[in-house]
Amino acid sequence: MSERKYFGTDGIRGRVGDDKINPELVLKLGWAAGRVLGNGHGGKVLIGKDTRISGYLFESALEAGLVAAGMDIRLLGPMPTPGIAYLTRTLRAVAGIVISASHNPYYDNGIKFFSSDGCKLPDELEAAIEAEMEKPLETVPSDRLGKAERVEDAAGRYIEFCKSTVPATMRLKGLRMVVDCANGATYHIAPHVFEELGAEVEVIGDRPDGFNINREVGSTHPKALQKMVLEHNADLGVAFDGDGDRLIMVDHEGGIVDGDAILYIIARSRLASPEGLKGKVVGTQMTNLGLELALRDLGLELERTRVGDRFIMETLKRNGWSLGGEPSGHIICLDRTTTGDGIVAALQVLAAMVLGGASLRDLAAGMPRLPQTLLNVSLTGRKAGEVMASEGVKSAVAEAEASLGTEGRVLLRPSGTEPLIRVMVEGTDAARVTELANHIAEAVKAAMAA
């Protein structure tokens, strides 16, 4: 992807009021997007948001810009990101817009787009929108201005879709679960999905006030969920992030079941089903080696991509495969929907539990997790490429790889967001893994000092 002024790997994101996320820019963004996506013919655009306080501000700014470009608006209110993708398709809109900063704190926000097919915008359309933003804003004649309406049944439509991704005969009767909505966009959606399928549901993180999204709850803060699962003697827990496109699960003993384990459970379940599993499973450079080995035992292959769901999606679509995800819990089931969806992924795991008569802990135990040490080394004065190419660093990496053999893995990469070099070592012996990671990190520091 070429260098962009505004768009990153997942739309536009920043602190509210900064040079990327402010009312003036978002107004212009709405207008430019309307010009590009409407192509002079108008059309319908959906706008949904998570629960952070600035959503009201940016919803109004986007609406004004789009209407000025002659586009009609359908307002969804608080809605999970994958729900907006789904409704964009089913309501035959030309685009869907999400106002969310996902798992970030309330003082951040972002804007991302879905095309008419419920997939993220291709690079060329993002580039075209940026180019249009450099032009003066011109309002269409009054007889061509767009109109705005609210979609009153948006939540109900998405709830029914989520339930449709598991067998119609499946019931969760007798299953006790805790659902953590992160005080985010799933607060009025996820509990209903599981309750309507028959589960007994305890809910936390379902009292958004505009400021508490992701605060000590949700997939990035699972301790609250672990505590509730144990207190309520629940069979499992599910935690979503602020916009509902990722999840982390907790078993009945309070153990964390992360994205790698969730991916393994779904892959194994698909493999055993009449529909089967199409192609390889896609992970990233950070995917635990334990998943790769467990999949190999099932006769499946893991394909690794760069870190980021965008690269997972590109790999899946390019090869016609159906399943991929990240350790953070961003799971993509392209045989069920068009984007990462926390609720849909949770339902696939629940289906595996119910149809297989197994606990979440038993299902996750099929993927042994290899010890992994991740160290961050700050960059000072030299470029990451120069440091990583130094003889001392290359020698340390080679020594670690030789020591680990086929039972381990070394990954050395520059951070995409911070001035850091990340050192990751995996293997079967935790102490040895830590020792090797520290040895490589010291070599990186020495190369920077040279």
Among 364, 383, 414, the domain boundary falls at 364
Query: Is the same domain home to 238 and 136?
Result: no
Give the pLDDT band (50/70/90) at residue 32. Answer: very high
Give strand pairing partners of 48. 77, 98
pLDDT attached to residue 416: 63
Its sign, for the CA torsion 67, 69, 71, 75, is negative
Query: Is the pTM above the cut of 0.75?
Result: yes
Its sign, for the CA torsion 130, 81, 247, 272, is negative
**197 is a domain residue:** yes
Q: Where does residue 299 rank: exposed (0-12), middle (13-18), buried (19+ CB within 10 A)? A: exposed
Average pLDDT estimate for 398-423? 86
% of the chain beyond a pLDDT of 90: 85
pLDDT attached to residue 307: 85
Domain that holds residue 36: 12-152
More confident site: 10 or 391: 391
**2 is a domain residue:** no
pLDDT attached to residue 378: 87
Among 309, 334, 364, the domain boundary falls at 364
- Judged against a pLDDT cut of 70, whether residue 443 lies above it is answered with yes
Query: Is the same domain home to 310 and 274?
Result: yes
Q: Where does residue 215 rank: exposed (0-12), middle (13-18), buried (19+ CB within 10 A)? A: middle
Q: What is the pLDDT of residues 411-437, one digit of tens each?
A: 998 876 568 899 999 999 999 999 999
Domain count, the chain: 3
Give strand pairing partners of 113. 97
**7 is a domain residue:** no
pLDDT attached to residue 437: 95
Q: What is the mean pLDDT of the chain?
A: 94
- Residue 238 and residue 178: Cα distance in Å, rounded? 6
Query: Is the same domain home to 120 and 164?
Result: no
Q: What is the pLDDT of residues 255-269, one digit of tens each?
A: 999 999 999 999 999
**122 is a domain residue:** yes
Query: Is the same domain home to 236 and 356?
Result: yes
Q: What is the pLDDT of residues 86-123, one digit of tens each?
A: 999 999 999 999 999 999 999 999 999 999 999 999 88
With beta carbons less than 8 A apart as the criterion, state whether 155 and 185 touch: no
What is the DSSP track for 221-233? -THHHHHHHHHTT
**Residue 118, domain CATH:** 3.40.120.10
Helix axes 342-356, 259-272, angle to 10 degrees: 50
Picking from 408, 365, 182, 357, the residue whose alpha carbon sits closest to that of residue 257 is 365
Query: Is the same domain home to 57 and 190?
Result: no
**62 is a domain residue:** yes
Query: Is the same domain home to 100 and 233?
Result: no
Query: Is the same domain home to 128 and 214?
Result: no
Query: Is the same domain home to 284 and 199?
Result: yes
Give the pLDDT band (50/70/90) at residue 382. Answer: confident
Q: Mark whether 102 is an active-site residue.
A: yes
Query: In 3-state terms, the chain is what percent helix, strand and coil (to 5)?
Result: 40, 20, 40
Q: What is the pLDDT of residues 155-204, one digit of tens each?
A: 999 999 999 999 999 999 999 999 999 999 999 999 999 999 999 999 99
Helix, strand, or coil here: 239? strand
Q: What is the pLDDT of residues 304-361, one digit of tens each?
A: 999 888 899 999 999 999 999 999 999 999 999 999 999 999 999 999 999 999 999 9
- Choose the catalytic residue: 100, 102, 269, 322: 102
Give the pLDDT band (50/70/90) at residue 1. Answer: very low
- Residue 6 and residue 121: Cα distance in Å, rounded? 14
Give strand pairing partners of 12. 111
Give the pLDDT band (50/70/90) at residue 2. Answer: low
**5 is a domain residue:** no
Among 152, 181, 209, the domain boundary falls at 152
Query: Is the same domain home to 302 and 215?
Result: yes
- The residue with tokens 């269409």 is 140
Query: Is the same domain home to 122 and 191?
Result: no
Q: What is the pLDDT of residues 218-233, one digit of tens each?
A: 999 999 999 999 999 9
- Judged against a pLDDT cut of 50, whether residue 395 lies above it is answered with yes
Query: Is the same domain home to 211 and 311?
Result: yes
pLDDT attached to residue 417: 58
Contacts 24+ apart (CB under 8 A), 53-61: 53/106, 53/210, 53/211, 54/16, 54/21, 54/106, 54/109, 55/99, 55/100, 55/109, 57/16, 57/23, 58/21, 58/23, 58/26, 58/99, 58/109, 58/111, 59/99, 61/23, 61/26, 61/27, 61/30
CB atoms within 10 A of CB 167: 11
Q: Which helix (H) or strand (E) holds 348?
A: helix 342-356
Picking from 199, 110, 196, 186, the residue whose alpha carbon sits closest to that of residue 160 is 196
Query: Is the same domain home to 234 and 281?
Result: yes
**4 is a domain residue:** no
Give strand pairing partners of 332. 324
- Judged against a pLDDT cut of 70, whether residue 3 lies above it is answered with no
CB atoms within 10 A of CB 117: 9
